[in-house]
Amino acid sequence: MDQNTKQRLVGITVIFALAVIFLPMILDGSGVQRETLTVDIPVSFELDENPEFEQKIVELHASVDGLPTIHSGFIDEQSLVVIDERAGEEAEAFAELNKSKSDQTKNRTETKAKKSERVVSKAVAATKSEIKIVKQNTGGESYVLQVGSFEDQTKALLQRDKLRKSKIAAVFVEKFNAFSKPSYRVRLGPFVNRNLSKIAQNKVKAKHNLDGLIMKYEQ
């Protein structure tokens, strides 16, 4: 028989012997000791109907940095009056400043309008003078080349100045009424014959891409 088997048999024998000794004692209770503990629990107890409590006031001392200090007092009515007066003065100064700016803007606008009127008046006077000189030189029947018609006199004068830079012929603006409204025609000439007006018509088409209309000039 090997050694392991012997050890197992010995262990089983020891356990069996212990069981035979202690198992009867556990089952019949002879081996268990019991102790009894007696505790007295009161059935009732008395409460004090008027208990006395001790009151304590604890002062908290804490400082917070950064908060503004509030001082008790009242607002002086005179201070309020001074504030109202200053606010009124500032409002009046602001109103005067706005009025001054508005007046300056109005004056500049009126000045520009007057200058524009003077320029247009001079241009119209120069145009009438040019027509008179041409009429005297032609001695009667003549032709003109009309290249534009505008309701806005300023646009007519701008086209006239542009054509004058080409130096094709004399250019002028003529006023007329269309449907009870003033309009302005841009014309080249007058020319002493139709052939000269035809030559001017071809040059205007080539340089400005404008289709001019040859007409007899009557005034």
Indicate if the pLDDT at residue 155 is higher than 80. Answer: yes
Q: Decide: 188 and 147 in contact? Cβ < 8 Å.
A: yes
Residue 29 has pLDDT above 70, yes or no: no
Average pLDDT over residues 70-99: 62
According to DSSP, the residues that pair with 217 across neighbouring strands are: 142
Secondary structure letter of residue 108 according to DSSP:
H
Q: Is 6 exposed, middle or buried (0-12, 13-18, 19+ CB in 10 A)?
A: exposed
What average pLDDT does range 53-58 have in this prediction?
A: 61
Can you give the pLDDT at residue 100? 77
- Interval 154-160 mean pLDDT: 96
- What's the CA gap between 215 and 218, in Å, rounded? 9
* For residue 186, pLDDT beyond 70: yes
Mean pLDDT on 120-141: 55
Higher model confidence: residue 206 or residue 48?
A: 206
- State whether CATH 3.30.70.1070 applies to domain 115-217: yes
Distance CA 162, CA 22 (A): 138
> Phi first, then psi: what are they for 186, rounded to 5°?
-100, 125
Exposure string for 177-190, b = 16+ CB within 10 A, e = fewer:
eeeeeebbbbbbbb
Question: Could you tell me the pLDDT band of residue 107, with boundaries at 50, 70 and 90?
Answer: confident
Contact 202, 214 (CB under 8 A): no
Does residue 34 have a pLDDT over 70? Answer: no
CA atoms within 13 A on the CB side of 11: 6
- The pair phi, psi for residue 149, each rounded to 5°, is -145, 125
Helix (H) or strand (E) holding 214: strand 213-217
174, 207, 175, 211: which is closest to 189 by C-alpha? 174
Q: What mean pLDDT is reported for the chain? A: 75
The percentage of residues in the chain with a pLDDT greater than 90, rounded to a whole number, is: 33
Region 164-172: mean pLDDT is 95
Work out the end-to-end distance of the chain between its first and last CA atoms, rounded to an integer number of angstroms. Answer: 159
Domain layout of the chain by residue ranges: 115-217
Sheet containing 181-191: order of strands: 171-178, 181-191, 142-150, 213-217
Average pLDDT over residues 49-65: 59
Which stretches within the chain are classed as H helix?
3-28, 77-138, 153-166, 194-208
pLDDT band at 213 (very low <50, low <70, confident <90, very high): very high
Residue 91 has a pLDDT of 76
Average confidence (pLDDT) over 170-188? 93
pLDDT at res. 7: 82
Asked if pLDDT for residue 156 goes beyond 70, the answer is yes
pLDDT of residue 204: 96
